[in-house]
Amino acid sequence: MELIRGLHNLATRHRGSVVSIGNFDGLHRGHQALIARLKALSQQYGVPAVVTIFEPTPREFFAPETAPPRVTSLRDKLRLLQAAGVDRVLCLRFDRRLASLSAEAFIERVLVAGLGARAVIVGDDFRYGSGRRGDLALLQRIGADAGFRAEGLDSVTFDGLRCSSSALRTALQQPDLAQVENLLGRRYRILGRVRHGLKLGRELGMPTANIHLRRVPALAHGVYAVRARWPGQPEGLPAVASLGVRPTLGMSACLLETHVFDFAGSLYGVELDVEFCRFLRPQLRFDSLDALAVQMQADGVQARTFLVEQELTT
């Protein structure tokens, strides 16, 4: 999959495509339906399937203090789009210049002049352009003259619930991992590179692989039974993970700490893929490191028991 950062990096060879546009946060079942239709149109027209995303998201740009947490980081989003079979991703920097474009100018610069779109497919609630004035009807009207087809895709529901990023964030905050899996069609995962930390887990008898998270994810802080994967270990190993800010230590940066059971090797520098299987408890502040160590051992026992029982029933 090719990643194109910014309109200025579009070349002549990028013209001729079918396009979908949005934030694609979480790549839930609704997004998956969009991409399935995008790929079908790609085959029909014989041109690449292109997804256009924004970084930061419009809500992060206009109101960073109140913008919702992301379901997936940009890295995870790109990984999921590649796995879904998207040919190219155009990542547009959302800044004041882009925000000021009228809906008509957005269509002309991005879809017509930039990507030479043959077809465009968007979700039923997609809005674009200054003041969010652009909608599907405008796309279809301009497309009829500019030579591209525009389609809207109805919302996807699962068990009566509309699959949306907001519904997904709600389920992650509860955290209701079964509902998260329903909305995603898979378990929730966080991917990141293992970095050196305080090595406190090693001192407390449970060494951890630490992923420093640049953005706080939508998943509720707490302790989880997880499976950890990395290159060379694609099936994954049972583990217990803590997501949060380590209140016992008075920290503020968000960290994902994963202890892989019965593993003695080094994971520093490795891209770790952590799959969340069960919520065990919320994040707590302990009066001492000894109390924290006792709870960590209990968390480990609970996580291992759940994961073993799960393996026996699958």
2-161 and 187-313 in the same fold = no
Instruction: Kindly report, residue by residue over 219-243, the tens digit of the pLDDT.
Output: 999 999 999 999 988 889 999 999 9
Q: 313 pLDDT band (50/70/90 cuts)? A: low
The whole-number pLDDT of residue 250 equals 56
What are the residue boundaries of the structural domains of the chain, listed by start? 2-161, 187-313
- Structure tokens that stand for 217 in this block: 């994810």
pLDDT tens profile 150-183: 999 998 988 888 999 999 999 999 999 999 999 9
71 near 30, Cβ under 8 Å? Answer: no
Look at residue 84 and tell me whether its pLDDT is greater than 90: yes
pTM of the predicted model as reported, rounded to 2 decimal places = 0.88
The predicted structure's pLDDT at residue 290: 78
Separation between Cα atoms, residue 220 and residue 197, nearest integer Å: 22
Per CATH, the homologous superfamily of domain 2-161 is HUPs (3.40.50.620)
pLDDT average, residue stretch 242-251: 72
Q: Distance between CA 226 and CA 200 in Å, rounded?
A: 20
Alpha-carbon radius of gyration of the chain = 22
Place of tokens 């699959």: 163
User: Which pLDDT value is given to residue 159?
Assistant: 85
In this prediction, residues 53-61 reach a mean pLDDT of 93
Residues 119-154 have pLDDT tens digits of: 999 998 899 999 889 999 999 999 999 999 999 999
pLDDT score of 214: 84
Residue 209 bridge partners (DSSP): 258
The whole-number average pLDDT for the span 73-100 is: 94
Would you say residue 251 has pLDDT above 80?
Answer: no
Which class would CATH give 187-313? mainly beta
